[in-house]
Chain A
């Protein structure tokens, strides 16, 4: 089954996902949208790691463990991020990042 889908293809999918996430992070004005973009980027990393594990070192666990750590930390990050966005909403009445620009120069 593995032989039918080469590793490169999987990596390409991950790269594409990474780019989609990056585009989302850059193009969205909504802070939550940016956060979702970042999550996509992290997921592409997970795909990479799991693919490397499955194709190159199926008898070890390094890639898997790395991916699990990333999923966990991403959850933490999302929790903090959402809390921060709520704080922004409380003091700015908006979650549009372009409107939050009191400091510049």
Chain B
């Protein structure tokens, strides 16, 4: 089976092609919808099975030989420049592939229920399949260029899927309008991608190859005995901040929630956004100490800021979005401290429980007829028991409560910060985890407890197609911690050939830390839950949050996620127009200005109008430009 690993990304790709070229021609609506769903899900499930078999075969090999590679064809080969189109299946790829295919299978099945009756369902499943194929290409690539292909591909699919409901002029709540959000996600991501491109150039300049492993000649192998410039890893870090939604490029992820909820679960929680963490782990050899310091701080600060921002959100999905940003911050911080295996561990558990939470929120949204504002919910635990209980498991896992999955992985990150002596980082992460427990308590209270505050809808439990995936994921969230239990460290040992990290000694201090952290998390979650259940009468869409009473204007700071968006808007717009106050006014008056993207757009539009003024239509102006060009060219020497 190890020779057939190319089947893993190929199957979803075939699913995409069949849906895109064939299924949409089916005339009957119901039949078309069913066919699209089954084909897409079938392709991903098959791919999961192949991955599973390959995984066990890989496990049967002795530790140091666990690396299977298949080169399908030489992608680009000319002169010194050789890039294979090849896939790599080693312990790191294997766990990523299992996560991606596993979670995708569940989400595909869930989507069959969730997207029932949607008019563009074929397109939805086609894009979803394409996404899975691209994501698998990303995690299985055996060179950086192919990884970049997947990296761009998932970005494109994310763009297409966020914009799925493009005809929704207004989001349910907040600013989540599909089209600008999609464009914003794409463009912000491209800033990171540009850095990635430059990193590849610099890497090739030094190593003359972009292949990871190639019988000792891959750049990850030679880099071990070479001094690599910090610029390369720093550029990669910028790429990571784009894709994995870290400061300063995280602004796109909360807006990306305009897409369908299963998409948020798959792309914006479990898989695509973790690509950055995967990239750091994969290329950790070339990260210098200087860059790793940056990585740690970027991760830790993101974790804290996003966790606090999540406290002040009213949209059920926005809470989860900021929570995702924050958890990604944990992973990046862990990677920055050199604990790559722990980062991957948290990535895996987070993939499971965050998918669960998103699907749960999708079930809530579905059951309340497209309500996303938590202030309009309340008391749903009576109407949707399965969703409630599974959501509780997910929330507990996220908050880090023993013995759920999140507890084990988050605790390891904290323990690592502690033993590495990074006390400031440790404190930041602890505060962030308190905020995490608090906002989950708050969310549970607002959504499921108390009484229903808005009676315009009749809440009901979702169908089996949606609840069964929830239960599966809930079981996963219960058990996922087992893969890297302290003492055994199965995952760390499994990843050791790739990541070269060794498990920490497990001492008394860890026990103390674990117990303290659980107590703190439970306490914090309880406070959040208690506060919002007792103050339930004050929750109203027309007035401020009950907590506003204590925090004052700080609340707005949190609500707007520390004003990053507004800052970009200003930064991008102001320098160009300071002299043109009137123009500024028209810019801000314009309808639908959306954060940095339009700001940047306006800025460049202004610049380009300067360029255009030379293009006056008059022949003689052109001739003059031509002549000035010649004179400049001649005078240049």
Contacts and interface: CB of A to CB of B under 8 A. Distances in A.
Contacts of B636: none
Contacts of A34: 619
B627 A29 contact: no
Contacts of A82: none
Interface stretch (B97-105, B412-420, B609-617): B609-617
B240 to A, nearest CB: 40
What size tier do the contact residues of chain A reach?
10 to 19
Interface in A65-105: 97-98, 100-105
Given A22-B627, A26-B624, A26-B627, A98 B615 contact: no
Nearest to A23: B627
Contact of A104 (B616, B624, B627): B616
Identify whether the interface residues of B are mostly helix, strand, loop, or mixed.
Answer: helix
Contact of A29 (B615, B616, B620): B620
Contacts of A50: none
A105 B615 contact: yes
Interface string B592-631: 0000000000000000000010011111100110010000
A26 to B, nearest CB: 5
B612 A97 contact: no
A34 B620 CA distance: 10
Contacts of A29: 620
Interface in A5-43: 22, 25-27, 29, 34
A36 to B, nearest CB: 15
Contacts of B615: 104-105
B617 A97 contact: no
A96 to B, nearest CB: 10
Interface residues of B, number: 10
A104 B617 CA distance: 4
A102 B620 contact: no
Nearest to B619: A97
Contacts of A103: 617
Most-contacted residue by chain A among B615, B620, B627 (CB, 10 A): B620
A3 to B, nearest CB: 32
B612 A98 contact: no
A97 B624 CA distance: 14
A88 to B, nearest CB: 11
Contacts of B624: 26
Given A22-B627, A26-B627, A97 B620 contact: yes
Contacts of B620: 26-27, 29, 97-98
Contacts of B627: 22, 26
A22 B623 CA distance: 10
Contacts of B619: 34, 97-98, 100-101
A42 B408 CA distance: 83
Contact of A26 (B612, B616, B617, B623): B623
Most-contacted residue by chain A among B616, B617, B624 (CB, 10 A): B617
Nearest to B623: A26
Contacts of A98: 618-620
A100 B627 CA distance: 20
Contacts of B617: 101-105
Given A98-B619, A100-B619, 15 more contacts: A26-B623, A26-B624, A26-B627, A27-B620, A34-B619, A97-B618, A97-B619, A97-B620, A98-B618, A98-B620, A101-B616, A101-B619, A102-B617, A103-B617, A104-B617
Shortest Cβ-Cβ A-B pairs, 10 listed: A104-B617, A101-B617, A97-B619, A105-B612, A26-B623, A104-B616, A98-B618, A105-B615, A101-B618, A104-B615
11 contacts: A26-B623, A26-B627, A29-B620, A34-B619, A97-B619, A98-B618, A98-B620, A104-B615, A104-B617, A104-B618, A105-B612
Interface of A: 22, 25-27, 29, 34, 97-98, 100-105
